[in-house]
Structure 1
Amino acid sequence: MSWFRKGRVAGLLLSIVLALIVAGCGGNNDNAPESSSPPGSPSPSASESPASESPSPSESPSETPKELVKVKFSEVIRSIFYAPHYIAMSKGFFAEEGLEIDMNTAQGSDKGAAALIAGTADISLVGPETTIYIYNQKGEKTLKLFYQLTMKDGSFLLSRDKLDSFDWSGLSGKKVIGWRPGSAPQMVLNSTLLKEKIEGADVVTNIASTAMAGAFASGQGDYIQLFEPVASTLIKEGKAYYAASLGEAYGEFPETSYVATSDYIANHPEIIQKVVNAVAKATAWLETASDAEIAEALKPFFEGTSDDIIVSSIKRYKDQQTWPAKPEMTPELFETLQGVLIENGVLKPEEKLADMSAVVDMSFVQKINS
Structure 2
Amino acid sequence: MSVRRKSALVLLVAMLTLLTAACGNKGKDTEKLTTVKFSEVIRSIFYAPHYVAMSKGFFEEQGLNVDMNTAQGSDKGAAALIAGTADISMVGPETSIYIYNQKGDKILKVFHQLTSKDGSFLLSREKLDDFKWSDVQGKTIIGWRPGSAPQMVMNSTLIKEQVKDAEVITNIASPAMAGAFTSGQGDFIQLFEPVASTLVKEGKAFYAASLGEAFGPFPETSYVATSDFIEDHPEIIQKFSNAVAEGAQWLTTASNDEIAEALTPFFEGTPEDLIIQSIERYKSQDTWPTNPEMTQAQFDTLQNVLIENGVLKSEEKIANMEEIVDMSFVKNIGKTD
TM norm structure 1: 0.83
Matched residue of 2:287: which SS?
Answer: coil
Quick one: percent identity of the two aligned structures?
Answer: 73
Residue 174 of structure 2 corresponds to 209
Structure 2 counterpart of 1:168, one-letter code: W
Find the partner of 1:332 among 275, 297, 305: 297
Residue 73 of structure 1 corresponds to 38
1:223-248 Cα distance to aligned partner (Å, 9 max, x none): 11000000000000000010000000
Tell whether 2:251 aligns with 1:286: yes
Structure 2 counterpart of 1:68, one-letter code: L
Tell whether 2:116 aligns with 1:154: no
Find the partner of 1:99 among 61, 64, 70: 64
1:11-62 Cα distance to aligned partner (Å, 9 max, x none): xxxxxxxxxxxxxxxxxxxxxxxxxxxxxxxxxxxxxxxxxxxxxxxxx999
Residue 321 of structure 2 corresponds to 356
Question: Which residues in structure 2 correspond to 1:40-189 (within 5 Å)?
Answer: 64=26, 65=29, 67-189=32-154
Residue 265 of structure 2 corresponds to 300
1:65-92 Cα distance to aligned partner (Å, 9 max, x none): 3521100000000000000001100000
Q: Give the Cα–Cα distance (whole angstroms) in 2 for the partners of residues 121 and 136 of structure 1.
A: 21
1:252-305 Cα distance to aligned partner (Å, 9 max, x none): 000010000000000000000000000000000000001110011011110111
Residue 42 of structure 1 corresponds to none
Tell whether 2:332 aligns with 1:367: yes
Matched residue of 1:244: which SS?
Answer: strand
CA drift at 1:220: 1.2
Structure 2 counterpart of 1:92, one-letter code: G
Matched residue of 1:89: which SS?
Answer: helix
CA drift at 1:221: 1.1
Q: Give the Cα–Cα distance (whole angstroms) in 1 for the partners of residues 158 and 334 of structure 2.
A: 40
Q: Give the Cα–Cα distance (whole angstroms) in 2 for the partners of residues 360 and 181 of structure 1.
A: 23
Find the partner of 1:248 among 213, 225, 229: 213
Residue 9 of structure 2 corresponds to none
Q: Give the Cα–Cα distance (whole angstroms) in 2 for the partners of residues 306 and 80 of structure 1.
A: 13
CA drift at 1:335: 0.1
Residue 52 of structure 1 corresponds to none
CA drift at 1:94: 0.1
Structure 2 counterpart of 1:105, one-letter code: T
CA drift at 1:363: 0.2
Q: Which entry has the higher C-alpha Rg, 1 or 2?
A: 2
Q: Give the Cα–Cα distance (whole angstroms) in 1 for the partners of residues 330 and 145 of structure 2.
A: 31
1:304-326 Cα distance to aligned partner (Å, 9 max, x none): 11101100010110011000000
Structure 1 counterpart of 2:186, one-letter code: G
Q: Give the Cα–Cα distance (whole angstroms) in 2 for the partners of residues 89 and 76 of structure 1.
A: 16
Residue 57 of structure 1 corresponds to none
Q: Give the Cα–Cα distance (whole angstroms) in 2 for the partners of residues 250 and 270 of structure 1.
A: 36
Residue 273 of structure 1 corresponds to 238
More divergent stretch after superposition (60-69 vs 146-155): 60-69
Tell whether 2:184 aligns with 1:219: yes
Structure 1 counterpart of 2:56, one-letter code: K
Residue 4 of structure 2 corresponds to none
1:192-250 Cα distance to aligned partner (Å, 9 max, x none): 00001110111111111111101111111111100000000000000001000000000
1:139-193 Cα distance to aligned partner (Å, 9 max, x none): 1111100000000001000011111110000100111111111111110010000
RMSD: 1.2
User: Which stretches in structure 1 are left out of the alignment for 5+ residues?
Assistant: 1-59
Larger fraction in helix: 2
Residue 198 of structure 1 corresponds to 163
Q: Give the Cα–Cα distance (whole angstroms) in 1 for the partners of residues 172 and 80 of structure 2.
A: 23
How many residues align structurally?
311
Structure 2 counterpart of 1:215, one-letter code: A
CA drift at 1:63: 5.9
Matched residue of 2:129: which SS?
Answer: coil
Matched residue of 2:130: which SS?
Answer: coil
Matched residue of 1:263: which SS?
Answer: helix
Residue 285 of structure 2 corresponds to 320
Matched residue of 1:70: which SS?
Answer: strand
Residue 35 of structure 1 corresponds to none
Q: Give the Cα–Cα distance (whole angstroms) in 2 for the partners of residues 250 and 317 of structure 1.
A: 14
